[in-house]
Amino acid sequence: MYELRQVDKHFPGVHALKAVDFKVNRHEIVGLVGENGAGKSTLMKVIYGAYQPDGGDITIDGTVVRFQNPRQAMNHGIGMVFQEQSLILNLTVMENIFLGYEQQFVKFGVIDWKAMAQAAKRQLAKVKLDIDPATTTSDLSFAQRQLVELAKVLTLEERIDGDLVILLDEPTSVLAKEEVELLFGLVRDLTKRASFIFVSHRMDEVLELSDRIYVMKDGAVVDVVAHDEAEVDAIQHKMVGREVDKEYYREQKQKPYDAGTVLVGFDKVSCGRRYSDISFDLHPGEVLCLVGTEGSGREAILRTIFGLDSPTAGTVTIKGEPVTRFAAQGGVSRGVGYIPRERKIEGIVAGMNVYENMTLSQMGNYSSGGVLKVGEEKSLARAWIERLGIKTPDVYKDCGGLSGGNQQKVVLAKWRSGGADIMLLDHPTRGLDIGAKEDVYEMIREMSDAGVGIILVADTLEEAIGLSHTILVIKDGAFQKRFDGTPGAKPTLYDLVHHMI
Amino acid sequence: MSFERIKPHFPWITLLVLVLLVGIANPSFFDPAGLLSLVSDVVPLFIMALGMTFAIYIGGIDLSVQQMANLVTVIATVYLANFGIGVALIAVAAGFIIGAFSGFVTTRLYVPSFVSTLAMGFVALSAAKYLSGQRALYMDAELRDASFGWMFGRTAGVPHELVIALVLLAIAWFLQTRTTFGRALKAVGSGELAAVASGLNVDRVKILAFAISGVFAAIAGLIFSVKLSGGDANLANGFLLLAIVAVLVGGTPLTGGVGGVVNTAIGTLIVMVIRAAMVYLEIDATQQQMVFGIVLIAAIALTIDRSKLRGVVK
């Protein structure tokens, strides 16, 4: 009924969807799985109209349709239940359900609240939620809000003719076990009204609920499995694809680290609700990888070491000194470098040129009495452009105009040239093409050889396994397991996944 | 050529076109003596706009400058007899403290700068009213000339006011382009999060930016006061709008990060030419603010960097 044929989508430097075929039949639940960056979100955005494909067709019952925006998609029966809930918390449940569609209840210019409440009751009954529609949304539990969101999407049923397709994006990520079962029962029940596309990190849930499962990797659908034939292992293998390539991650260059010295020590450190009771040591030359799902607390640990987040309990030691005051200035002066995930926002300053970006964290070294020595800045920039092979016409080029890989190199040069010997890398290869990724891996090995301690939050699990000496698995802010990553004895993907989810 | 590419050149092209238009309509505009006096007249406004540039360059705004100048006219007049040329120091200190306080409120108490500086402006206004007893005060001509007479002479036909303006411009330009502080300002204005993640003390940079804005507003007030030989809590009224217009038509957008003090020099000249044109066109003084209000909106709409707004304007 709803079908994508050979759908393509490009972003600058990235081929995000490659000739994707995707089909949803009437009354069907379709699962969609893939690693981070496999193209799931892009595909969903194409489906609900937030992105327009560059190639291929979207058809509904054989008719080609084109959506300019999500509202047009909704008018064709495509509804989205967002992961980040889209309800406005200070409005009542019924106001949320009919947000933007209040006109039907207007009599003589004012809203007939009674009629709206009755209509809302009918919608809530569809999701078996027995609450007063005049309740303020913020008073509901998270699970209840999820159901309200679903009820809101189900109003499409009355509004449009034809079939409904409802996307569920990670609907279970914050639900308790019994709430998940409730939701699943409901979704199965609702298949008589609509088809569903179910996206989740939790493989067992996808297997349980879906009639068919699409497996994505690198922007392409690599397999479609029917419910009865689905096996967790086989699907995970497809998600990861090729055998982990040792050359690719420069495993042959991985050398043992200096276990006698501790650069960063975490002793039972907690930070509010983000993570708790985390302990580890980082040594010179070590690549320590934090592995976990989105929001498991990995980034917060990096931010604590850099000084951006203060811990609420425990002791952080950097080079033997306990850290008492948490501020980024302190982190920088202790020799900590931070490569943030949001390269364009936190990594480089767009609008500033190459040398300005490189000396930003170490202006003291390139000035006297507060006056900049621009000549020295430029020669520093030239040296590092040469050393890292940064592709830029000259040192005056605005970093906002460089490609992602070159931006990342500028950020790396900023910290390395300033003598940082503790490097925090948050998704350093996100959004880079293969060549640029390999450059980053090469640089990680180089730094490690030079005795830099590296804490990495990798973009994919393969990357984490391939690059690291040590892997810590973290789930919901709590430590799960430590793996040793000596070449030849690296943990497998399945070892990790098992502890992550 | 796309609009984005000529955007940085927009200010001086505007200035050139305006000068030519006014000059063709009224050739006497090019009379050197007349031009010089026009330029000297605009000096206090220019200095105020110069300071404002720092606040806008980091993506903030300083709405207290006019009241700051008002307060300084009163301070200068009241204390001239006691401290002589020393009132200049008092004025600068007052500007620094009030500006720094606005900056403190903005960065540490998370009050947006348009509110914090507006509030501090009223504090300054009230202080000016209290200090002056709500009267217009006058300087003793002899005392004034003894301390500040040097401000208004001419050397080789160049008014000293203009020299002061150029010296301040040079200082501001040096601060902006040659110092670590200036570099930090640019980083904060262009990408505050990246500046934080590079370990810059962003709060201190911002506080200093507002302090500098206060200092320049105080200097503007001092010159204005000496020029008019008196002080009054309303003396500098009407400057605020023009100062903002000067910065924005100069090409420093409200979103910060680009433009700078040289742009503000051009912007001030644009304001000057528009003002002169309105005199030739016999637009009533009461209507001039209307014109500048419209110019301000046009300048913001043209210069603002929409990619930084993330879709929400309130």
A133-178 pLDDT, tens digit each: 999 988 888 788 888 988 888 888 888 888 889 998 888 766 777 7
* The Cα angle at residue B70 between residues B67 and B71, in degrees rounded to 5: 90
Considering CB atoms only, which of B181, B184, B194 is closest to A345? B194
The sign of the torsion formed by the CA atoms of B165, B167, B169, B171 equals negative
Q: Tell me which residues of chain A have a C-beta less than 8 Å from any C-beta of chain B.
A: 306-308, 328-329, 331-333, 338, 340, 342, 345-352, 356, 359-361, 363-364, 367, 370-372, 374, 414
Tell me what pLDDT residue A244 has: 45
pLDDT value for B74: 95
For the residues B247-256, what does the mean pLDDT come to?
Answer: 90
Which CATH number is A255's domain given? 3.40.50.300
Computed over every residue of chain A, the mean pLDDT equals: 87
pLDDT at A245 over 70: no
Residue A245 lies in a domain: no
Residues of B in contact with A308 (CB under 8 A): 196-197
| Residue A152 counted as domain residue | yes
Assess contact for A471 and A464: CB atoms under 8 A: yes
On chain B, the residues whose CB falls within 8 A of the CB of A360 are 183, 187, 194-195, 198, 200
Q: What is the mean pLDDT of residues A274-289?
A: 92
Instruction: Average the pLDDT over A340-355 and give the result.
Output: 90
Domain check: are A279 and A185 in the same one? no
In terms of domains, do A196 and A308 share one?
A: no
Is the pLDDT confidence value at B159 over 60? Answer: yes
Q: What pLDDT, in 10s, does the model give residues A63-82?
A: 899 889 888 898 888 988 87
Question: Which residues of chain A does B257 touch, with a Cβ-Cβ cutoff of 8 Å?
Answer: 351
Say whether pLDDT at B311 is over 60.
no
Same-domain check for residues A258 and A230? no
**Side-chain half-sphere of A488: how many Cα atoms within 13 Å?**
5
Confirm if A25 and A214 have CB atoms less than 8 A apart.
Answer: no
Which pLDDT band holds residue B1 (cuts at 50, 70, 90)? very low
| Residue A408 contacts residue A344 (beta carbons within 8 Å) | no
Residue A189 φ/ψ region, left for φ over 0, alpha for ψ in the -120 to 50 degree band, beta for the rest: alpha
Mean pLDDT of A334-351: 89
Residue A485 pLDDT: 83
- Which pLDDT value is given to residue A37? 66
Per-residue model confidence (pLDDT) at position A13: 61
Contacts of A352 in chain B (CB under 8 A): 186-187, 190-191
C-alpha to C-alpha distance for B118 and A236, rounded to whole angstroms: 59
Tokens of A88: 């406005």
The minimal CB distance from A370 to the residues B181, B191, B258 is found for B181
Task: Return left, alpha or beta for B301; rule: phi > 0 is left, psi -120 to 50 is alpha, else beta.
Answer: alpha
Highest mean pLDDT among A72-86, A228-242, B133-147, B191-205: B191-205
Closest approach of B13 to chain A, Cα-based (Å): 22
Backbone torsion region of residue B16, taken as left when φ is above 0, otherwise alpha when ψ lies between -120 and 50, otherwise beta: alpha
Whether residue A210 is found in the same domain as residue A302: no
> Are B195 and A360 in contact (CB < 8 Å)?
yes
Number of Cβ atoms within 10 Å of the Cβ of A175: 16
Within a domain: A246: no
Is residue A47 within 8 Å of A26, Cβ to Cβ? Answer: no
- Statement: residue A199 has pLDDT above 80: yes
Q: How far is CA B91 from the centre of its chain?
A: 16
Residues A236 and A257 in one domain: no
Same domain membership, residue A264 and residue A234: no
Using CB atoms, which residue from A332, A349, A356 is nearest to B199? Answer: A332
Quote the strand ranges of A153-312, DSSP E: 164-169, 194-199, 212-217, 220-226, 264-271, 275-282, 287-291
Q: What is the pLDDT of residues A403-416, one digit of tens each?
A: 888 899 999 999 99
Question: Same domain, yes or no, for A65 and A212?
Answer: yes
| Cβ contact, residue pair A361, B194, below 8 Å | no
Mark out the alpha helices in A334-460 (DSSP H runs).
354-358, 374-388, 404-417, 434-449
Query: Do both A378 and A418 map to the same domain?
Result: yes
CA B305/CA A400 separation, integer angstroms: 14
CB neighbour class for A248 (10 Å; exposed up to 12, middle 13-18, buried from 19): middle
Q: What are the backbone dihedrals phi and psi of residue A336, each rounded to the nearest 5 degrees, phi first?
A: -95, 130
Burial B86-111 (b: 16+ CB within 10 A, else e): ebbebbbebbbebbbbbbbbbbeeeb
Question: What ipTM does the predicted assembly reach?
Answer: 0.87
B180, B184, B193 ranked by CB distance to A345: nearest: B193
Helix H segments across A418-492? 434-449, 461-467
- Sorted by sequence, the CB contacts under 8 Å of residue A271 that are 6+ apart come out as A297, A300, A301, A304, A309, A310, A311, A312
Which of A346, A367, A370 lies at the smallest CB-CB distance from B197?
A346
Same-domain pairing of A144 and A264: no
Q: How many residues does chain A have?
A: 501
A346 CB neighbours in chain B (<8 A) are: 191, 193-194, 196-197
> What are the backbone angles phi and psi of residue A282, rounded to the nearest 5°?
-115, 130
CA A438, A439, A442, A444 torsion: positive or negative?
A: negative
Residues of A in contact with B191 (CB under 8 A): 345-346, 348-352
Say whether pLDDT at B125 is over 90: yes
Domain B32-304 has CATH 1.10.3470: yes
Residues 6+ apart with CB under 8 A from B199: A307, A328, A329, A331, A332, A333, A361
* Inter-chain touch A360–B198, beta carbons under 8 Å: yes
Contacts (Cβ under 8 Å, ≥6 apart) of B173: B260, B261, B262
Strands B154-155 and B158-159: antiparallel
Average pLDDT, integer, range A466-489: 88
Give A331's contacts in chain B (Cβ within 8 Å). 199
Q: Judge whether A85 lies within some domain.
A: yes
Residue B195 has pLDDT above 90, yes or no: yes
Whether A323 has a pLDDT exceeding 80, the answer reads yes
Q: Identify the domain containing residue A410 by its residue range.
A: 251-500
Asked whether the beta carbons of A312 and A287 are under 8 A apart, the reply is: no
Q: Are residues A381 and A300 in the same domain?
A: yes
pLDDT attached to residue B314 = 57
Average pLDDT of span A306-317? 90
Q: How many CB atoms lie within 10 A of CB B42?
A: 23
- The DSSP secondary-structure symbol of A292 reads -
Tell me the backbone φ, ψ of residue A167, rounded to 5 degrees.
Answer: -95, 130
Classify residue A92 by its DSSP letter: B
Q: Cβ B196–A331 below 8 Å, yes or no?
A: no
Residue A216 lies in a domain: yes
Q: Is B301 on the interface with A (CB under 8 A)?
A: no
Is residue A349 included in any domain, yes or no? yes
**Per-domain residue ranges of chain B:** 32-304
Could you tell me if residue A190 is left (phi over 0), alpha (psi between -120 and 50 degrees) or otherwise beta?
alpha
Cα pseudo-dihedral A413, A417, A423, A428, rounded to 10: 0
pLDDT digits (tens, 9 = 90+) for B39-90: 989 999 999 999 999 999 999 999 999 999 999 999 999 999 889 889 999 9
Half-sphere exposure of B278 (CA within 13 A, CB side): 15
Separation CA A424–CA A434 (nearest Å): 21
Give residue for tokens 């000249």.
Answer: B269
Q: Which residue in chain A has the smallest CA separation from B197?
A: A346
Q: Would you state the pLDDT for residue A254?
A: 82
The answer as to whether A212 is a domain residue is yes
The pLDDT value given to residue B124: 95
CA distance A479 to A277: 8
Mean of per-residue pLDDT scores for chain B = 90
d(CA B260, nearest CA chain A) in Å: 13
The confidence score (pLDDT) of residue A469 equals 92
End-of-domain residue from the set A211, A240, A269: A240
Instruction: Please state the domain count of chain A.
Output: 2
Q: Are residues A131 and A23 in the same domain?
A: yes
pLDDT of residue B309: 61
Question: What are A325-332's contacts with CB under 8 Å, separation 24+?
Answer: A328/B196, A328/B197, A328/B198, A328/B199, A328/B200, A329/B199, A329/B200, A329/B201, A331/A305, A331/A306, A331/A307, A331/B199, A332/A361, A332/A362, A332/A418, A332/A420, A332/B198, A332/B199
Give the mean pLDDT of B123-135.
Answer: 93
- Expressed in percent and rounded to 5, the helix, strand and coil fractions of chain B are 80, 5, 20
Measured over the CA atoms of residue A382, residue A386, residue A392 and residue A393, the dihedral's sign is: positive
DSSP secondary structure letters along A119-165: HHHHHHHHTT----TTSBGGGS-HHHHHHHHHHHHHTHHHHSSS-EE
Q: Are A2 and A21 in contact (CB under 8 A)?
A: no
Say if the Cβ atoms of B194 and A346 lie within 8 Å: yes
Contact: B184, A363; criterion CB under 8 Å: yes
Kind and range of the H or E element at A230? none
Residue B207: pLDDT band with limits 50, 70, 90: very high
- On whether any CB of chain A is under 8 Å from the CB of B183, the answer is yes
- Mind listing the pLDDT tens digit for each residue in A287-303? 999 998 777 888 899 99
CA A276 to chain B, closest CA, distance in angstroms equals: 24
Same domain, A263 and A236: no
Q: What percent of chain A has pLDDT over 70?
A: 96
In a domain, A355, yes or no: yes
For residue B61, give the nearest of B300, B308, B312 by alpha carbon.
B300
> Measured between alpha carbons, how far is B247 from A341 in angstroms, rounded to an integer?
35
